Structure 1
Amino acid sequence: MSGPAGEARAMLAGMAPALAPERFRFCEGGEGLIPLAWAMVREAEGPSLILPEPLPEGAAPLGPALRRITLEVWSALDGVGLTAAVSGALAARGIACNVVAGARHDHLFVPDGREAEALDVLRALSAEARGGGAAG
């Protein structure tokens, strides 16, 4: 693709979900941990960090271990519908999903142990958008 997909069907059809090998945790921690973070969000309470396991000293985990699934489609920043469709399909199966968007790709953090099921849901959703079957 030469540019980003912005239409919902095109984004879903081309999402090509890919699982990262690492486990991650959302954590709080000092500014010194920022260089170790996969991603960081500045919040009023301090930096929220997404750190790979094993966690460095000083990182305070705020929840369970998560797995990262990257949607390989280059989704337009003003595209509408991808996050809603993906989170809705996962929610229908009772799979929690935290979404972090980059300039090109969306990254889904799902509970460790549910990543295979999440991938199945996402692949079915993508196949449905391509006209190849119903999403489960």
Structure 2
Amino acid sequence: RERERERRMANGETDLDVLLKGMTPTLDETKWCFVCYKSSGGVHPLLADALATFREKEGLTLVIEESQATPRDCWSGEVSKPYAKITLEIHSSLEAVGLTAKVTEALTKEGISANVIAAYYHDHVFVPWERRKDALKCLKKLCLN
């Protein structure tokens, strides 16, 4: 039993009930924007300050602070509106099944869009800035059910 607990601590939690009850959603008050960098070679100077990046065929998506997201010649299009980041503080395994579905389902019922990034230790849910408090309330309610 102790070995199983230690394994979960090292690899992250996979039990959906444990994940939901212990996810402890935490709101970051920073405004985040999504932008796409069309590379013509080299590394974009904001890469070091990006919260997250993802390479797609259309370009490199960066999640950066709103204050850095002014339109630039290298952006492929519009800068997104601001989003709030809600971190699910439980260490979820990358192999966990159902957490993203439950979180997005709960937010969908409230009419809140969600962009989820699963990192090694935690899941991060980006919601429209103006709905951040509603989203946090919704996710806290999900923890209690």
Bin for the TM-score computed over the shorter chain: 0.7 to 0.9
Moved more, 69-78 or 50-59: 50-59
The structure with the larger Rg is 2
Q: Distance in 2 between matches of 1:122 and 1:15?
A: 9
Identify the residue that residue 5 of structure 1 maps to in structure 2: 13
Q: Which residue of 1 aligns with 2:55?
A: 42
> Identity over the aligned pairs, expressed in percent?
35
Instruction: Give the helix-richer structure, 1 or 2.
Output: 2
CA RMSD of aligned residues (A): 1.6
Aligned with 1:52 (options 57, 65, 90): 65
Deviation at 1:52, TM superposition (A): 0.8
Secondary structure of the residue aligned to 2:134 is helix
1:67-82 equivalences in 2 (<5 Å): 67-82=84-99
Unmatched segments (≥5 aa) in structure 1? 129-136
Aligned residue runs from structure 1 range 1-136, under 5 A? 2=6, 3=9, 4-29=12-37, 30=39, 31-32=43-44, 33-56=46-69, 58=72, 60=75, 61-128=78-145
Give the 3-state SS of the residue equivalent to 2:86 in structure 1.
Answer: strand
Deviation (angstroms), 1:56 = 4.9
Deviation at 1:64, TM superposition (A): 1.2
Output the TM-score relative to the length of structure 1. 0.88
| 1:89 to 1:54, Cα distance in 2 relative to 1, 3 A | same
What TM-score, normalized by structure 2, do the two folds share? Answer: 0.82
Which runs of 4 or more aligned residues in structure 1 lie more than 4 Å from their structure 2 counterparts after TM superposition?
none
Report deviation, 1:63: 2.1
Q: Distance in 1 between matches of 2:80 and 2:36?
A: 11
Q: For this pair of structures, how many residues does the alignment match?
A: 128
